[in-house]
């Protein structure tokens, strides 16, 4: 569905594409939005360069794809739909580190996320993405049958709240007071994408406690195997940020991981998330 004025350059054989020839700050026709959505579904993550977006324009473009999801523990600096993601020299924790799909410890995790690079250092801070369709399809038929009906229990107790002391380690601030409430979600380990109909592996190890109906000890071995399978190098692409870059990824079929290697530099990014449905 890509329109003639959109140039699409694949980033790898597994997933990801840069989309050139569009100004996201300008009003977009319905046909253009439909083409971009089709590219997102095809590639799992799409990227734009050279954009100039204030909060209103970022929301104006992102809002064409769905309703906004408000994050349960990051603190907004103004607009509650936008999280300002800051990285300062010396930060030992950053937003997005470790392979994951966003916010699985909720009943209906966000279907997609959009991240805008407002102030990007000259090197470091790349984001990696992994195709979860390929992760699932690489499993043996016997393993696929084993995973039918298996559900994983997720909780944000290991990554959020006062006990984690993230605010002492990161320039991006989280709720650490009495306003914070922990979330828990229970989701299938293999989910069916509601738009493409394809099956994808869905396991987010940093927030997973155990498989439903099993103890943590019983769950750990298989969970680690699946987690390692989820981000094998041949399933991935890598995006190098520039000021004005935008990443738009589908949490229903992709995982991602941010690298904390920007050394002495500050970095500022702005993120919105789009509401999803209950994984099926």
Q: Mind listing the domains of the chain with CATH numbers? A: 7-274 (3.60.130.10)
Rounded distance, CA 233 to CA 129, Å? 10
pLDDT score of 197 = 98
pLDDT of 7-45, one tens digit each? Answer: 999 999 999 999 999 999 999 999 999 999 999 999 999
* pLDDT exceeds 70 at position 159: no
pLDDT score of 162 = 46
* pLDDT exceeds 60 at position 132: yes
- The residue that leads in pLDDT, 205 or 270, is 270
Q: Percentage of the chain with pLDDT > 90? A: 76
pLDDT score of 96 = 79
Neighbours of 123 (CB within 10 A): 12
- The helix (H) or strand (E) run that includes residue 86 is strand 83-87
Model pTM above 0.85: yes
């Amino acid at each position: 569905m890509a329109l003639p004025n959109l140039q699409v350059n694949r980033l790898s054989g597994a997933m990801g594409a840069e989309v050139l020839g569009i100004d996201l700050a300008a009003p977009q026709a319905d046909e253009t939005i439909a083409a971009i959505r089709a590219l997102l579904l095809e590639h799992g993550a799409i990227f734009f360069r050279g954009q100039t977006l204030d909060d209103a324009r970022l929301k104006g473009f992102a809002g064409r794809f769905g309703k906004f999801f408000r994050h349960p523990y990051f603190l907004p600096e103004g607009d509650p739909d936008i999280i300002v993601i800051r990285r300062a020299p010396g930060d030992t924790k950053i937003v997005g580190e470790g392979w994951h799909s966003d916010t699985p410890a909720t009943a209906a995790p966000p279907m997609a996320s959009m991240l805008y690079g407002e102030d990007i250092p000259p090197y470091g801070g790349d984001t990696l993405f992994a195709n979860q369709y390929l992760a699932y399809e690489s499993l043996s038929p016997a393993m696929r049958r084993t995973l039918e009906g298996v559900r994983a229990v997720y909780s944000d107790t290991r990554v959020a709240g006062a006990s984690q002391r993230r605010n002492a380690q990161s320039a991006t601030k989280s709720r650490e007071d009495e306003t914070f409430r922990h979330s828990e979600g229970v989701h299938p380990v293999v989910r069916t994408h509601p738009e493409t109909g394809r099956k994808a592996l869905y396991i987010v190890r940093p927030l997973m406690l155990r498989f439903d109906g099993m103890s943590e000890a019983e769950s750990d071995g298989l969970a680690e195997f699946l987690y390692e399978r989820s981000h094998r190098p041949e399933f991935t692409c890598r995006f190098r940020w520039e000021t004005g870059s935008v990443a738009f990824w589908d949490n229903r079929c992709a995982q991602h991981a941010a690298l904390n290697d920007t050394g002495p530099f500050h970095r500022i990014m702005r993120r919105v998330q789009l509401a999803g449905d209950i994984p099926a």
